[in-house]
Amino acid sequence: MVGPKVKITEANYLKIKDICASFNNNPGELINILHKTQGEFGYLPEEVQQVVADCLGIPVGRVYGVVSFYSFFTMKPKGKYAISVCLGTACYVKGAEKILDALKSELKISEGGVTEDGKFSLDVLRCVGACGLAPVMTINGKTYGRLVPEHVKEILAEYAD
């Protein structure tokens, strides 16, 4: 497994236990449990998966199998502001790759990367369903549409804190 090693505190251990218990420790609810756990911690490091596996009474391999299968789950922490560029077909034909290139050169990271200060992370996703606004990107869930590469700088400036 990849991703940083983390030591789980007692409080966090109890949080995960509570989440699993709220789904009756039912392995059939694994995906919902992982959604909630990732919502709590921002990502799913190895140690967190181990706790989930223990609570549900299933091998950690099964938890990892699910985490690695679905693109929504991540084992690496994201930036404080998570940027996702839509590379769905509608955005692609309207130049989404140029937006991605502009972000890469502005942030000096590649897809899947996080800036050194941990402020921004950059990912691509397939279609947020706002094709009328293509090309689009989202930052922590906020959608920016009808983009041209020149917009990138000003949008990032909104997050100067």
Partner 1 sequence: MAVKMHILVCGGTGCSASQSHEIVAELNKELVAHDLTDFAKVVVTGCFGFCERGPIVKIIPDNTFYTRVKPSDAKEIIEEHIIKGRKVQRLLYVAPDTNQSVPDSKHMEFYKKQLRIALRNCGFIDPENIEESIARDGYSALGKCLTEMTPEQVIAEIKKSGLRGRGGAGFPTGLKWEIASKSRPGEQKYVVCNADEGDPGAFMDRSLLEGDPHSILEAMAICGYCIGADKGLIYIRAEYPLAIHRLQVAIQQAEEYGLLGKDIFGTGFNFEIELRYGAGAFVCGEETALIHSMEGKRGEPTFKPPFPAQSGYLGKPTNVNNVETYANIPVIINKGADWFASIGTEKSKGTKVFALAGKINNVGLIEVPMGITLREIIYEIGGGIKGGKKFKAVQTGGPSGGCLTEKHLDTPIDYDSLVAAGSMMGSGGMIVMDEDDCMVAIAKFYLGFTVDESCGKCTPCRVGNRRLLEILTKITDGKGTMEDLEQLKNLSAVIKDTALCGLGQTSPNPVLSTINNFWDEYVEHVVDKKCRAGQCKALKKYVIDPAKCKGCTACARACPVSAISGTVKNPHVINQLDCIKCGTCIEKCKFGAISIQ
The residues binding partner 1 (CB under 8 A) are 26-32, 34-35, 62, 65-66, 69-73, 87-94, 125-134, 136, 141-145
Q: Residue 9 CB, nearest distance to partner 1 (Å)?
A: 26
Write the DSSP symbol of residue 57: T
Chain-centroid distance, C-alpha 66: 15
Q: How many CA atoms lie within 13 A of 80 on its CB side?
A: 9
Q: Residue 57 CB, nearest distance to partner 1 (Å)?
A: 13
Across 37-105, where does the E strand assignment appear?
A: 81-86
Across the chain, where does the E strand assignment appear?
A: 81-86, 120-125, 137-139, 142-144
Omega into 45 within 30° of 0, i.e. cis?
Answer: no
Q: Residue 7 CB, nearest distance to partner 1 (Å)?
A: 26
Nearer to partner 1 by Cβ, of 87 and 109: the residue is 87
AA letter at 124: V
Nearer to partner 1 by Cβ, of 56 and 156: the residue is 56
Nearer to partner 1 by Cβ, of 40 and 118: the residue is 40
Nearer to partner 1 by Cβ, of 60 and 131: the residue is 131
